[in-house]
């Protein structure tokens, strides 16, 4: 019985080799072939085995690196949500408001470093007098340009309308600005929608720059006109950095096109780590801004540095931080301006906030074109009608049109370019090509190994049962 079992191991191996679906194996073990032929078959088998292992490890490494592909599609969407548009005058404070108060005028002049100022802003007595009457936030809010004088005409969707209804004031780094179709507006009334392409389906505005009111500009600007930023309502307007400048005396067309970017979420590979705001477990990490966006995060980072990093215990006039008291003149000069300057000079602070893109992000491509406005012909007529000097119109008036170029959006989508299925078919293909094998051939190997193991196990048990009586 034992001898029979012992024989069958060899037999089993031979049987396996002869019938193996891995082609080389049966040839190499075929006893009817001559020795050298079998050796060559054996070497070929080994060579292709090695080649297959090389290819398989290469494919597995490729799969593990999570390669990402990008595809672009154009998708029709009608009606399309109109973007938010933020308008900032290059001037922050109105001259008539400041000049009405001699003391205020002197302080503002001192802030600008104007030699005509008669006060010293470092003087504690002056600061005390100032703080009794005003806060920095108040002055910048009340002194800002008002919507009723800025937007002199407004046509939305082909109908004459009152702009104020759609405009929300926003504090940005360029002072108090106005946003059309803002986050607050969209949350209350839903987004405004465009039903048709071209100027008639968009927003048409007349803006008055009011150069006669120019008094105080932020340190980045020395020009006259507006900064305009077309953005998604849920994206914070970083207008000082990203806005398009519009000059007075022009008819300006901003043709917009929506782009939607979908990135793969952060658990897929390390490089594409985006913030998955659509995830139900997502919690907005921003302290001062309601809705997460990369721009919002950058802005939040600045406010966080001013208030927590630098420890200014007040709200800077141009920053959006509810629940924190307005700055006094002293706090503003000694803390906030220094903190803002440090933040803008040192990239480390922004890097520490680690602001990432959202996984689904909509942005707008803007194409700008412009013509002189008003024409010489129209200028004469307008000046006669309004009783103003001709130069007034060239210096102050902007005719602005913002409209969709097409009612579709471009979808840029990332996808896994090498999936588990791809890996499996690559390995399967190469297994077949190199060895003529399939997964079932692997099962054959498994079967023979299992058979050998069981017969060896049985043998061991038999030897042991035979050995135990002798030792006693």
Ligand X SMILES: *[C@@H]1O[C@H](CO)[C@@H](O)[C@H](O)[C@H]1NC(C)=O
CB of 132 to ligand X, least distance (A): 18
Integer angstrom CA distances of residue 379 from 222, 391, 396? 27, 9, 13
Does position 113 bind ligand X by CB under 6 A?
Answer: no
x/- map, 338-357, ligand X, by CB under 6 A: --------x-x---------
Q: What is the 3-state secondary structure (H, E, C) of 296-331?
A: HHHHHHHHHHHHHHCCCCCECCCCCCCCCCECCHHH
CA–CA dist 314, 327 (Å, integer): 5
Does position 325 bind ligand X by CB under 6 A?
Answer: no
CA–CA dist 226, 92 (Å, integer): 11
Strand order in the sheet with 226-231: 167-172, 175-180, 84-89, 226-231, 244-246
Does position 425 bind ligand X by CB under 6 A?
Answer: no
Single out the residue of 15, 102, 114, 123 in contact with ligand X (rule: CB under 6 A): 123
Q: Position of tokens 């008291």?
A: 325
DSSP string covering 352-368: HHT---BSEEEEEEEEE
CB of 352 to ligand X, least distance (A): 8
First to last CA, the chain: 25
Scanning 109-117, 143-151, 399-407, 457-465 for contacts with ligand X by CB under 6 A, the matching segment is 143-151
CB of 364 to ligand X, least distance (A): 30
3 versus 160: smaller Cβ distance to ligand X:
160
CB of 276 to ligand X, least distance (A): 24
CA–CA dist 423, 48 (Å, integer): 19
Does position 125 bind ligand X by CB under 6 A?
Answer: no
Q: Tell which residue, 439, 415, 435, 445, has the closest CA to residue 425.
A: 439
Does position 118 bind ligand X by CB under 6 A?
Answer: no
Does position 21 bind ligand X by CB under 6 A?
Answer: no
CB of 119 to ligand X, least distance (A): 9
CA–CA dist 274, 155 (Å, integer): 38
Does position 391 bind ligand X by CB under 6 A?
Answer: no
- Can you read off the two tokens belonging to residue 433? 């090509």
CA–CA dist 467, 6 (Å, integer): 18
Scanning 120-128, 208-216, 218-226, 454-462 for contacts with ligand X by CB under 6 A, the matching segment is 120-128
CB of 342 to ligand X, least distance (A): 8
CA–CA dist 128, 83 (Å, integer): 45
Does position 148 bind ligand X by CB under 6 A?
Answer: yes
CB of 380 to ligand X, least distance (A): 26
Instruction: Specify the long-range contacts of residues 53-61, CB closer than 8 Å, at least 24 apart.
Output: 55/426, 55/430, 55/434, 56/427, 56/430, 56/431, 59/423, 59/426, 59/427, 59/430, 60/423
* Cα of 57 vs its chain's centroid, Å: 35
Does position 96 bind ligand X by CB under 6 A?
Answer: no
Does position 193 bind ligand X by CB under 6 A?
Answer: no
Does position 117 bind ligand X by CB under 6 A?
Answer: no
359 versus 397: smaller Cβ distance to ligand X:
397
Count of residues binding ligand X (CB under 6 A)?
A: 9
346 versus 419: smaller Cβ distance to ligand X:
346
Scanning 4-12, 129-137, 141-149, 442-450 for contacts with ligand X by CB under 6 A, the matching segment is 141-149
Does position 34 bind ligand X by CB under 6 A?
Answer: no
122 versus 417: smaller Cβ distance to ligand X:
122
CB of 344 to ligand X, least distance (A): 12
Q: Which residues bind ligand X (CB under 6 A)?
A: 120, 122-123, 146, 148-149, 323, 346, 348
């Amino acid at each position: 019985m034992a001898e029979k079992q012992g024989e069958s191991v060899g037999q089993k191996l031979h049987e396996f080799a002869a019938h193996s679906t891995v082609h080389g194996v049966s040839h190499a073990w075929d006893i009817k072939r001559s020795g050298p032929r079998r050796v060559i078959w054996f070497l070929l088998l080994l060579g292709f085995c090695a080649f297959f292992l090389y290819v398989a490890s290469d494919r597995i490494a490729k799969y593990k690196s999570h390669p990402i592909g990008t595809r672009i599609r154009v998708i029709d969407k009608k009606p399309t949500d109109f973007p938010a548009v933020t308008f900032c005058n290059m001037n922050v404070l109105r001259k008539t408001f400041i000049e009405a108060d001699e003391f205020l005028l002197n302080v503002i002049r001192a802030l600008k470093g104007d030699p005509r100022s008669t006060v010293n802003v470092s003087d504690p007595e002056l600061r005390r007098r100032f703080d009794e009457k005003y806060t920095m936030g108040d002055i910048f809010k009340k002194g800002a340009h008002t919507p009723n004088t800025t937007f002199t005409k407004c046509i939305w969707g082909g109908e004459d309308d009152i702009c104020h209804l759609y405009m929300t004031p926003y504090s940005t780094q360029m002072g108090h600005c106005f946003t059309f179709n803002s986050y607050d507006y969209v949350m209350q009334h839903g987004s405004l929608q465009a039903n048709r392409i071209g100027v008639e389906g968009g927003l048409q505005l007349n803006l008055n720059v009011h150069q006669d009111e120019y008094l105080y500009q932020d340190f980045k600007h020395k020009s006259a006109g507006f900064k305009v930023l077309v953005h998604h309502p849920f994206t914070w307007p970083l207008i000082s950095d990203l806005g398009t400048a519009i000059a007075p005396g022009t008819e300006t067309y901003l043709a917009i096109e929506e782009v939607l970017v979908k990135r793969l979420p952060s658990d897929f590979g390390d490089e594409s780590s985006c913030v998955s705001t659509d995830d139900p477990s997502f919690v907005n990490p921003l302290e001062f801004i309601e809705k997460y966006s990369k721009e919002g995060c950058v802005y939040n980072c600045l406010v966080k540095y001013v208030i927590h990093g630098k420890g200014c215990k007040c709200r800077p006039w141009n920053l959006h931080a509810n629940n924190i008291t307005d700055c006094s003149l002293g706090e503003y000069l000694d803390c906030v301006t220094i903190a803002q300057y440090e933040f803008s000079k040192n990239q480390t602070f922004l890097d520490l906030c680690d602001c990432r893109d959202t996984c689904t992000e909509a942005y707008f491509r803007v194409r700008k074109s412009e013509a002189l406005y008003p024409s010489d012909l129209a200028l004469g007529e307008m000046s006669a009608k309004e009783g103003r000097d001709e130069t007034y119109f060239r210096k102050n008036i902007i005719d602005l049109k913002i409209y969709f170029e097409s009612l579709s959006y471009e979808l840029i989508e990332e996808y896994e370019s090498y999936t588990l299925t791809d890996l499996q078919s690559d390995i399967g293909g190469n297994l077949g090509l190199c060895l003529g094998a399939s997964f079932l051939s692997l099962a054959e190997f498994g079967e023979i190994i299992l058979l050998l193991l069981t017969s060896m196990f049985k043998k061991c048990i038999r030897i042991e049962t035979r050995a135990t009586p002798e030792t006693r």
